[in-house]
Structure 1
Amino acid sequence: MINKKVLAIILGGGQGTRLSPLTDQRSKPAVSIAGKYRLVDIPISNCIHCDIKRMFVLTQFNSASLNRHIKNTYVFSSFSDAFVDILAAEQTPDNKTWYQGTADAVRQSMHHLLNHEFEYALILSGDQLYQMDFNEMLDSHIEKGADISVATIPVKPKEATQFGILKTDDESFISSFTEKPSLDKLPGWESEVSEEMKNEDRNYLASMGIYIFNKQLLIDILSNPDTVDFGKEIIPQSINKNKVLAYQYEGYWTDIGNVSAFFEANINLTDDIPQFDLFNKSNSVLTRPRILPPSKISGTLLNKSMIAEGCIINAKEIDRSVIGIRSRIGKDTVIKNTYMIGSNLYQDISELEEDKQNGLPHVGVGDRCYIKNTIIDKGARIGNDVSIEGGSHLEDTEQDAYAIKDGVVVIKSRCVIPDNFKI
């Protein structure tokens, strides 16, 4: 089944500087998560589970790897109308600029969108982690006769300062909106939430950046070239002109906006009962099927860790870590609180021998290393006897081979860390 009333538009985000260096060579939606997925798999999987199978992904920065992933992953039947297509920013005779914001991206892509029949546009972000039934939101939108629906989530006072906060009337229509209010401005912005949310001190409704627009209204609004962003301009400006509904969601949701949020989201997957459940069959995350052998682990103490397929691990200990596909870890190495993204390719025996002769570490982590509070990006080479311990004691820095952000050490993609190196 395909829901032909809805067309999904997934926003790839801007340059992703807050997620740098992970976004230096790839767009935000292409960043790996949980050792085997990409961030873009999250909104696409949510859509597919809701029979929303016509999707556009809008991007303009470093889109090559995202393009490959989409092309190799989401292949539907030739007799189906289902598709996931990438729309990269393009210059046309009518428009010679890059996307200026979320709304401008949709505006510039509108001539492609209008080639398809739809009644409602579902607008999603490509850098969030959640499992959500969009059909429930759509049913609420239709039942209440809304022009626009905004997905919201209850947040605590400290979190409220990072989001757009809104107030609703008795019928859940939005009556007022404020962008990132300071703590002293929060009193009076409390909303009606469930008892469970009240007990967690989550009394403020934050916009999740997930919207449903009636087709004609979206066309009319985007005819004004002066508005370029949904969250900062279109939603606040529409409140007094249109029926803007708040759809309250109380499940797990996190915005992968910066390195510390990305790191925390991955490490939290190792909890005994994680808030984001990768083992939920009805809400499984879909991704590219790979033909990889099972992981081979020798003499390693594993605790609260996730190991993707195709790994060769001889470590002494791996604790509360996520180890991505095709990872190699040497003998007597200890890895704690770390996300190792893995590698795109295996090195064969001759390549490993050539590296040894040239004094170059193999792709992965060498022997007798100690690594903690670290992200190891794809294809990185870490030598023997290396000690890397991230934490609040470290100052932010940007080096050729690594960066430190909010205490998290990020070993850059394909960079080399020599033997005996210490951070």
Structure 2
Amino acid sequence: MPIDEEPRVLAIILGGGKGTRLYPLTKERSKPAVAFGGKYRIVDIPISNCINSGYKKIYLLTQFNSASLHLHITKSYNFDRFSGGFVEILAAEQTLEHSGWYEGTADAVRKNFIHFKTQKPTHYIILSGDQLYKMDLRAFMNEHIRSGAEITIATTAVNRKDASGFGIMKIDENNNVTQFMEKPKPDMNIDAWKIPQEARGSLPKEKEYLASMGIYIFNAKTMEDMLGGENEKYTDFGKEILPLAIGKKKINSYIFDGYWEDIGTIRSFYDANIALCGPNPEFDFVGYQKQPIYTHMRNLPPSKINSADVNHSLLSEGCIITDAKIEKSVIGVRSIIKEGTKLSGVIMMGADYYDSEEEINEFKKEGKPFTGIGKNCQISNTIIDKNAKIGDNCKIGITGCKYEDGDHGAFYSADGIIVIRKDAVIPSGTEI
């Protein structure tokens, strides 16, 4: 296709599987629906990248815990009738041809061709629903068309240590992908897979290998060829379809040198959120005002701060914070934080509602905590999921106790991070 001919692009965001690595945040919601950065959901990142790049026909494929995600999408993304844009969820469904769940990323796309083909696309952009990055997808598409590739894989440069956690691409001096290797073992010699000098540009010296970002562009016909016929038994893009296409299709690498982070685990999710609190974070919501990250417009009141000490933190709208000390923390919408409480390194996802007068009176009678955090609490290294009720004088994440990864009742431990469950009730005086 000539570069001056406007392609008809469908963006497909993969919602992921059960999200076990992000459990318990994914106990009642899919990975893309997990709250991020105080007021957003993870899915807002890839959707905003699409919208800002001018691609407004977006399908989101999911099959686990999709109710919360569906509600967020419905409230957040409404295009006018003249734009032709949409964000539509396609959950796994039974049809006369297919009766099972999505069995992998490629299988999910294959089972939805019946919906995609009505848009008569010339190209598909495949995106992950649980990554943090900002990419000009139109530049990505233009490079794909300019190169004459049938498939383009977005790649990021990594060092040898990190290469063992990714699918690694071998390319020639013209960025053509010639080989693919899934997660090479740390002691394996992969010197022959280093990025050719002609393709390096200004990449850091220590980053000598190209890792797949799980972001692809396919020509529509190529996608149908690779997922149809004798290939119908293959279910995954990264492990099966792309290695199979090498040597049969022209595949290019698009080297992305901007910020990119996979936030699929509790530790990576926590670190990515806390990193937002720095004075000059690599991923900065404020710096993206010309290409904003979109989300649900809640029409909440401004946050009310009653004599608080807040440093290097993000505060979302609708909060009420009284005589508290907050540092290096992300505070979500409708968060209530009472007198004397100290938070350090806390991700507080906030609440879906404010307690009513009737509920407050009932909680008082029963001696139960209100939604939010009570008085004189000390909390550190903790994720507090939505609608949690934490009483007075609680100590969480500062007691020195070390917990095995796993379920501990009202809380969960993962990679040294305490996760207070959604809707959890933590009585006054609790120490975790």
Contact 2:7/2:123 (8 A) holds in 1: no
Partner Cα distance (2:323, 2:390) in 1: 14
The Cα of 1:284 is off from its aligned counterpart by 1.2
Residue among 42, 47, 52 paired with 2:45: 42
Alignment correspondent of 2:82: 79
Quote the sequence identity (%). 47
Residue among 61, 65, 68 paired with 2:68: 65
Residue among 234, 242, 245 paired with 2:241: 234
The Cα of 1:353 is off from its aligned counterpart by 2.1
Partner Cα distance (2:323, 2:127) in 1: 40
Matched, 1:191 2:195: yes
The Cα of 1:24 is off from its aligned counterpart by 0.3
Map 1:286-305 to 2 at 5 A. 286-305=294-313
Given residue 336 of structure 1, which amino acid in structure 2 is its aligned partner? S
Alignment correspondent of 1:270: 277
Secondary structure at 1:175 match in 2: strand
1:198–1:392 Cα change, 3 Å? farther
Alignment correspondent of 2:427: 418
Secondary structure at 1:246 match in 2: strand
Partner Cα distance (1:316, 1:81) in 2: 47
Map 1:6-21 to 2 at 5 A. 6-21=9-24
The Cα of 1:314 is off from its aligned counterpart by 1.4
The Cα of 1:315 is off from its aligned counterpart by 4.3
The Cα of 1:148 is off from its aligned counterpart by 0.2
Partner Cα distance (2:203, 2:81) in 1: 46
Residue among 256, 270, 280 paired with 2:263: 256
Secondary structure at 1:233 match in 2: helix
Stretches of structure 2 lacking an aligned partner (at least 5 in a row): 1-5
Residue among 86, 92, 97 paired with 1:94: 97
Secondary structure at 1:266 match in 2: helix
Secondary structure at 1:213 match in 2: strand
Alignment correspondent of 2:409: 400
Contact 2:156/2:257 (8 A) holds in 1: yes
Contact 1:174/1:245 (8 A) holds in 2: yes
Number of residue pairs aligned between Structure 1 and Structure 2:
420
Secondary structure at 1:188 match in 2: helix
Deviations 1:24-61 (A, max 9, x none): 00001100100100111111100001110000000000
1:282–1:306 Cα change, 3 Å? same
**Which TM-score applies when normalising by structure 1?**
0.97
Matched, 1:221 2:226: yes
Deviates more, 1:394-403 or 1:42-51: 394-403
Deviations 1:191-243 (A, max 9, x none): 146465334x1111100000000001111111122110001111111111111
**Which TM-score applies when normalising by structure 2?**
0.95
Contact 1:374/1:388 (8 A) holds in 2: yes
Deviates more, 1:385-394 or 1:349-358: 385-394
Please provide the CA RMSD for this pair.
1.4
Map 1:361-376 to 2 at 5 A. 361-376=369-384
Partner Cα distance (1:402, 1:244) in 2: 46
1:43–1:180 Cα change, 3 Å? same
Secondary structure at 1:162 match in 2: coil
1:195–1:112 Cα change, 3 Å? closer
Given residue 292 of structure 1, which amino acid in structure 2 is its aligned partner? L
Alignment correspondent of 2:211: 206
Deviations 1:105-155 (A, max 9, x none): 001111000111210000001000000001111111111100100000011
Alignment correspondent of 2:327: 319
Given residue 240 of structure 1, which amino acid in structure 2 is its aligned partner? G
Given residue 79 of structure 2, which amino acid in structure 1 is its aligned partner? F
Alignment correspondent of 1:246: 253
Stretches of structure 1 lacking an aligned partner (at least 5 in a row): none
Given residue 376 of structure 2, which amino acid in structure 1 is its aligned partner? R
Contact 1:4/1:117 (8 A) holds in 2: no
Contact 1:168/1:191 (8 A) holds in 2: yes
Secondary structure at 2:383 match in 1: strand
1:278–1:244 Cα change, 3 Å? same
Secondary structure at 1:184 match in 2: coil
Partner Cα distance (2:159, 2:368) in 1: 49
Contact 2:62/2:89 (8 A) holds in 1: yes
Secondary structure at 1:52 match in 2: coil
Residue among 143, 154, 159 paired with 1:156: 159
Matched, 1:142 2:153: no
Given residue 306 of structure 1, which amino acid in structure 2 is its aligned partner? L
Deviations 1:379-417 (A, max 9, x none): 011111110116894431312211000000000000111
Partner Cα distance (1:194, 1:420) in 2: 57
Partner Cα distance (2:271, 2:365) in 1: 38
Contact 1:315/1:334 (8 A) holds in 2: no
Secondary structure at 1:231 match in 2: helix
The Cα of 1:319 is off from its aligned counterpart by 0.5
The Cα of 1:184 is off from its aligned counterpart by 1.6
Alignment correspondent of 2:135: 132
Secondary structure at 2:90 match in 1: strand
Alignment correspondent of 1:284: 292
